Structure 1
Amino acid sequence: MSDGGAGVTATARVIARTDGRGGTSLPVLDGEGPLALRRVRSAGSGAHVMIVGAMSGPLGGDRLAVEASAGTGARLLIGSAAATLALPGQAKGEARYDVRLTVEEEAELYWLPEQLISAAASELRTTTRADVARGGRLVLREEQVLGRSGEETGRLSSRLTVRVAGRPVLDQELNCGPDAPGGWGGPAVLAGLRNVGQLVVVRPEFARNPVTAGPLGEHAALLPLPGPAALVTAVAPDALRLRRLLDEAAQTLNC
């Protein structure tokens, strides 16, 4: 971890491997700065890791990253103990939060953090990239809350990229807040709502039996991706209803 006066630079790393006894070990579990990592009890044979906020962040000028890898046959679930709150901070410039996920053959990775909240006057750019090998499984959930109660949103740029067996199946970007390209709050994007989320599911069986595109209630939609994957996008008037929509979608997809 470094702090040169222009923000904190920190990377958290998780590597999961099979332990040879039907379980999953964590040979690498290394957190830095605001990204503390804790292994918690798991109900099954997989490993369950929580990201615990050890400091405020991301603040202006911070450069934070999470790198997680599930090796062949391993099962890894990563969550967070609380929402991530983007704040303006004292340093000038936008903050960065980059997530890199790797899923090897016959492995499973669940990326299920709590919401990302974009507070007023903050500037944050996030990128999430998942690379899934043939036969790997991924469940990825992202939720963005644009402003706390009674305040305007900060500036938030969010890019999500998923590759399966080396081929891109999803590459999308959302820009919201002050100075963002016009129309992000209009009927074609968020329709005036301030909570948006995505659920990406990669499963080998989707190659044989792809999901059927269609609405999931009034504010969510299911879309098959060009590969063994599916995307759910949802918007909602509050974070609780957004989570409910994504949980219901996960049940529909048997996650």
Structure 2
Amino acid sequence: MTGTGVRAAARIVACGDGRGGTALPVLEGEGPLALRRTRGSGAEARVMVVGAMSGPLGGDRFGIEAHVAEGARLSVGSAAATIALPGQLKAPARYDVRLDVADGGELRWLPEQLISAKGSDLYVRTRVDVGTAGRLVLREEQVLGRVREEPGRLTSRLTVRVAGRTLLDQEVACGPGAPGGWDGPAVLAGHRAVGQLVVVRPEFATEPVTARMLGEGAAVTPLAGPAVLVSAVARDALLLRRVLDEALGHLGG
């Protein structure tokens, strides 16, 4: 920790082990971003991010990278929700995520929810690059405030590129100080859980998914490439997870 907050980084590299499975030659984490390999299934390796500290707090800078090589399959989750909290420093916190999936690689990025507690200020930046024949399932879930609590300020930007082409680049800002209308009928409409699911599969290029609504608070939107975006809002985290899980099931898991 420094006078400008905690600095922490984690890095995962997955590659084929030559026997039909996945090896993890790099599995490095520090401070609040401890990494643990858990039991996988088949050719897939699984990693859990285990929070060893509270946060991120004001002024903290967290970063995590995952690189999946050709022929490797990696699933990454987290042991618990991440809670953005206010700290002694008034500066905003930052959480950077960088994901790279090579041709023939597969990544399932399925962390638990990010909770924006009252008084916090967090900027999340997620950048994903997928090769032409790469496969991706990415889930983001954000909960605005704990039970009966006003949210903090949360800004989240997600960029997804496939074969060097940008398919998605969007930013959402919620909470005190965010642009007006974030909680209005055209955006969250009073809901306190918001999430999205991005699925990239080569077969979507020739068998595109049809745009449709999933109930009242979720929509499936095909992107301009082999990818699909599911956007959802819900009254709480439990319902949001149910909606996104159902959407993933409709897309073939």
TM over 0.5: yes
Which residue does 1:106 correspond to in 2?
A: 104
Normalized against structure 2, the TM-score is what?
A: 0.99
1:123 is the counterpart of 2:121: yes
Residue pairs, 1:186-205, within 5 angstroms = 186-205=184-203
The one-letter amino acid of 1:56's match is S
Aligned match of 2:145 in 119, 130, 147?
A: 147
Residue pairs, 1:1-255, within 5 angstroms = 3-255=1-253
CA distance in 2, matches of 1:148, 1:123: 15
Q: Report the secondary structure of 1:128's partner residue.
A: strand
The one-letter amino acid of 1:181's match is P
Q: Report the secondary structure of 1:205's partner residue.
A: helix
Structure 1 residue ranges, 4+ long, deviating more than 6 angstroms after superposition: none
Aligned-pair Cα RMSD in Å: 0.6
CA distance in 1, matches of 2:89, 2:15: 39
CA distance in 2, matches of 1:167, 1:109: 18
Q: Report the secondary structure of 1:180's partner residue.
A: coil
Q: Report the secondary structure of 1:73's partner residue.
A: coil
Q: CA deviation at 1:6?
A: 1.6
CA distance in 2, matches of 1:110, 1:59: 27
CA distance in 2, matches of 1:210, 1:140: 18
> CA-to-partner distance for each residue in 1:105-131, whole Å, 9 max, x for gaps?
100000000000000000000011110
Normalized against structure 1, the TM-score is what?
A: 0.98
Count how many residue pairs are aligned between Structure 1 and Structure 2. 253
CA distance in 2, matches of 1:51, 1:179: 30
Q: Report the secondary structure of 1:230's partner residue.
A: strand
CA distance in 1, matches of 2:92, 2:169: 22
The one-letter amino acid of 2:189's match is A
